[in-house]
Structure 1
Amino acid sequence: MRPTVFLDRDGVINRGRPGYVRRPADFEFLPGAVEGMRRLQDAGWRLVIVTNQDATGWKLVPERQLARIHDTMVRGLRSEGVEVAEVYYCPHPLLRDCPCRKPRPGMLLAAARDFGVNPRMAWMIGDKVLDVATGRAFGCRTAWVGPRDWRARFRAEVRPWHPDVVADDLLGAAKAILRRGSAEDPRGSHDKVTA
Structure 2
Amino acid sequence: MKKNKAVFLDRDGVLNKELGDYVCHPDDFKVLEHNFKPLKELQDRGYLLIVITNQGGVAKGWYSEETLALMHGELIKAYEANGIHLSDIYYCRHHPDYNGKCLCRKPGSLMLEKAAARFNVDISRSYFIGDNQRDMIAGEGAGVKGILIKSDQPIGEVLHLID
Q: Same fold (TM over 0.5)?
A: yes
**CA, structure 1 residues 170+3, in 2 after alignment: closer, same or farther (shift >3 Å)?**
same
Name the structure 2 match of 1:157. Answer: none
Structure 2: how far apart are the matches of 1:175 and 1:169? 12
Give how far 1:31 is off: 4.7
SS state at 1:49 partner: strand
Instruction: Say whether the 8 Å CA contact 1:13–1:170 is kept in structure 2.
Output: no
Give the deviation of 1:82 after TM superposition: 0.4
CA distance in 2, matches of 1:174, 1:37: 9
Q: How does 1:2-151 map to 2 (within 5 A)?
A: 2-95=4-97, 96-146=100-150
Structure of higher RCO (CA pairs closer than 8 Å, 6+ residues apart): 2
| Structure 1: 5+ residue stretches without partners | 151-167, 182-195
The 1:3/1:15 distance shift into structure 2, 3 A limit, reads same
The offset of 1:21, in angstroms, is: 1.2
Task: Provide the rounded CA distance (Å) in 2 between the counterparts of 1:89 and 1:172.
Answer: 26
Letter in 2 for 1:143: I
AA matched with 2:28: D
- SS in structure 1 opposite 2:96? coil
Query: Cα deviation per residue 1:44-84 (whole Å; 9 max; x = unaligned)?
Result: 10000000000011111100000000001000100011000
- Is the aligned partner of 1:172 residue 2:154? no
CA contact under 8 A between 1:12 and 1:127: conserved in structure 2? yes
TM-score (norm 1): 0.77
Percent identity between matched residues is 31
Deviation >6 Å, runs of 4+: none
Shift of 1:169: 3.0
Distance 2:7 2:26 in 1: 24
Counterparts in 2 of 1:31 and 1:80: CA distance versus 1, 3 Å: closer
Alignment TM-score, normalising by the size of structure 2? 0.91
- Aligned counterparts of 2:160 and 2:90: Cα–Cα separation in 1: 24
Q: Give 1:174 deviation, angstroms.
A: 2.6
- Alpha-carbon distance in structure 2 between the residues aligned to 1:175 and 1:76: 25
In structure 2, runs of 5+ residues without a counterpart are none
